[in-house]
Amino acid sequence: DIVLTQSPALAVSLGQRATISCRASQSVSTSSYNLMHWYQQKPGEQPKLLIYDASNLASGIPVRFSGSGSGTDFTLTINPVQADDIATYYCQQSRELPLTFGSGTKLEIK
Amino acid sequence: EVQLQQYGAELGKPGTSVKLSCKVSGYNIRSTYMHWVNQRPGKGLEWIGRIDPANGNTIYAEKFKSKATLTADTSSNTAYMQLSQLKSDDTAIYFCAMELRGLDYWGQGVMVTVSS
């Protein structure tokens, strides 16, 4: 199985940039796609897709969210961070089954 | 608008089974994969498996092969998951999710509590 590694928490000041990383145990990229996706989950809610295929903004997601990366290293950036962005962020790969998720990064405000 | 509706909460005794439903509106499930994901209290997301409703083909995570059974009814546009031989360790929120690019749409989740 592909293991995705995320840092447990990140503290950022409002209005600043947050950079959340995800490292895969093997490449999740094909010749055409980078099969890494990002989700936001607030307490008591279901996850919400933010970014698909590493860098594509999902429908209705604010442009302050962006994603980058390829191969084994991926990044979710939130700039500028707003109070509503307090949540846990998960990466997920679909390069191969079983689908796997990172353990989540909890975004906190300094 | 695409919506995935999961209903209520479930309380199951150890050794019994529960069957969860996920009714989809706004999209024909024949054109997608339906996935199930769980989240134990205070923990992260764990993939259980997926079904192709068009042909009933299923794939499960190894640890859920004897635990979960995924089915789908295309006439009612509903996906189902049965969890068997419930143990306390199965206590979790269970989400259904629909795949278009990533897991684009999610149900609100059903809390399954296993207790005698």
In tens, the pLDDT along B44-73 reads 999 999 999 999 999 999 999 999 999 999
- Distance from the Cα of A30 to chain B's closest Cα (Å) equals 15
pLDDT given for residue A92 in this prediction: 98
Q: Which long-range contacts (CB under 8 A, 24 or more apart) does B82-87 make?
A: B82/B17, B82/B18, B82/B19, B82/B20, B83/B12, B83/B17, B83/B18, B83/B19, B83/B20, B83/B112, B84/B17, B85/B15, B85/B17, B86/B12, B86/B13, B86/B14, B86/B15, B86/B16, B86/B17, B86/B18, B86/B112, B86/B114, B87/B14, B87/B114
Q: What is the mean pLDDT of chain B?
A: 97
Distances (CA, A) of B44 to A8, A40, B111: 11, 12, 15
> Alpha-carbon distance A50 to A67, whole Å?
9
pLDDT given for residue B9 in this prediction: 85
pLDDT given for residue A106 in this prediction: 98
pLDDT given for residue A11 in this prediction: 97
Query: Per-residue confidence at A16, pLDDT binned at 50, 70, 90?
Result: very high
Peptide bond into B14 cis (omega under 30): no
Residue B7 has pLDDT above 90, yes or no: no
Query: Per-residue confidence at B8, pLDDT binned at 50, 70, 90?
Result: confident
Q: How does DSSP assign B1-32, residue by residue?
A: --EEE----EEE-TT--EEEEEEEESS-GGGS
Residue A6 has pLDDT above 80, yes or no: yes
pLDDT given for residue A100 in this prediction: 98
Peptide bond into B53 cis (omega under 30): no
Residue A34 has pLDDT above 80, yes or no: yes
Query: Per-residue confidence at B1, pLDDT binned at 50, 70, 90?
Result: very high
Q: Which of A99, A103, A106 to mutate to test the interface with B (most CBs of B within 10 A)?
A: A99
Query: Per-residue confidence at A103, pLDDT binned at 50, 70, 90?
Result: very high
pLDDT given for residue A15 in this prediction: 97
Residue B22 has pLDDT above 90, yes or no: yes
Contacts of A44 (CB under 8 A, 6+ apart): none
Residue from the list B47, B95, B104 with its beta carbon closest to the beta carbon of A99: B47
Say yes or no for a CB contact (<8 Å) between A52 and B104. yes
Q: Tens digit of pLDDT for each residue in A67-98? A: 999 999 999 999 999 999 999 999 999 999 99
Say yes or no for a CB contact (<8 Å) between A56 and B101. yes
pLDDT given for residue B13 in this prediction: 95
> Alpha-carbon distance B64 to B41, whole Å?
18
Tokens for B76? Answer: 């009612």
Query: Per-residue confidence at A8, pLDDT binned at 50, 70, 90?
Result: very high
Mean pLDDT of A46-73: 98
